[in-house]
Amino acid sequence: MGKDINLIDRPFSIGPLTVPNRLVRSATFEFAAENGRITQRHLDLWRQMAEGGCGLNITGKMAISAGAKIAPIMVECSYDGFVDDLKKASRVAKEKQSLLFVQLNHAGYKTSAQEGHDQLGVSTLEVAPDRVYHEATFAEIQKIAEDFARAAKRCQEAGIDGVQIHAAHGYLINTFLSPYYNHRTDSYGGSIKNRSRILFEVYEAVRGAVGPGYPVGLKMPMSDRVEPSITLEECVNVAQGLEKMGLDMIEISAGLTMDGGDSSFVPSAKEGSEGLFLKGASAVAKAVKIPVISVGGYRRPEFVEKALAETPVTAISICRPLIREPNLANRWKTDRSPATCLSCNKCFRSSGIITCQVDKK
């Protein structure tokens, strides 16, 4: 790779969109909603993201319905006024010539235990003493697909550039994909064709709602990091199937986030362990023509450049470094020193809005 070539700054396309560079702010939960509503704290953070220099920014996960969220601090896409509130974020992004996607999610086993929230999952599971989630029925699965579609349409109406379906990190769709959780004996269990059926139905419903020209992306796992797990071969198979249906982008991650250990999606990203899931993302990228984005502990711009130069992945996504240094992408244009994020995960203890907690007493 010649010294005059900066791969990070090269544009790429997601559907009809041109993304100005190869850095993506991966979706990161904001901890900022009030009773499921977008707040000024969200808007301030999204403005900060728009100014930070990443080619594409993805919001934290938003619940497709009131019953699909993990807590009142998670935005739900179904409340009255959601479109008008989200339009404010869209305007900010356009003012800063930035691209913004919304990540859509059903929390599955992680939904709130409060009354009015969905107490369902891929299979019956006691998630805590006296807290049993039932196996989702066919009718419930169809409603979930419809809720994803309605949520995507509302994002489109708000002027958001695209949406990302969240099928990773132990949320509902991921648990269908995973044989660790999926013990069904009907058409949604067993083979990967069956285990991925809900994902294909969700994508089909979303695409039907937003039309052929609106960017729809996906975040999915290459591995569950527990056994039994979805395999990389199965991940590739699903990616190829969705590409044929018109999917525009795939971000590859891993882990069911069951706890803070090896099943978590936030393992330590110490020196020498960058690109944690790059091998899987590369395998998917070799098998499809749509952009594949790799997430997983990226901290040094030279490693990002190396990944872009030596693998078929299209872009690199990061999140925790941008919590500590919101302007990191801009900084890397002149100062190529590593991100200062310590990978301590204290940011996930935030209250009110996600922020780096390292220097706070």
Catalytic positions:
171
Q: Answer yes or no: are the C-beta atoms of 41 and 353 closer than 8 Å.
A: yes
- Position 62: which residue type? M
Whole-angstrom distance, CA of residue 4 vs CA of residue 16: 28
Per DSSP, the three-state class of 265 is: coil
CB atoms under 10 Å from CB of 338, counted, come to: 16
Q: How far apart are CA 135 and CA 207, in angstroms?
A: 26
Angle ∠(211,213,215) on CA atoms, nearest 5: 100
Buried b or exposed e, range 199-235, using 16+ CB within 10 angstroms: bebbbbbbbebbeeebbbbbbbbbbbbbeebbebebb
Q: CA–CA distance from 158 to each of 89, 155, 190, 249, 333 (Å)? A: 9, 5, 39, 21, 32
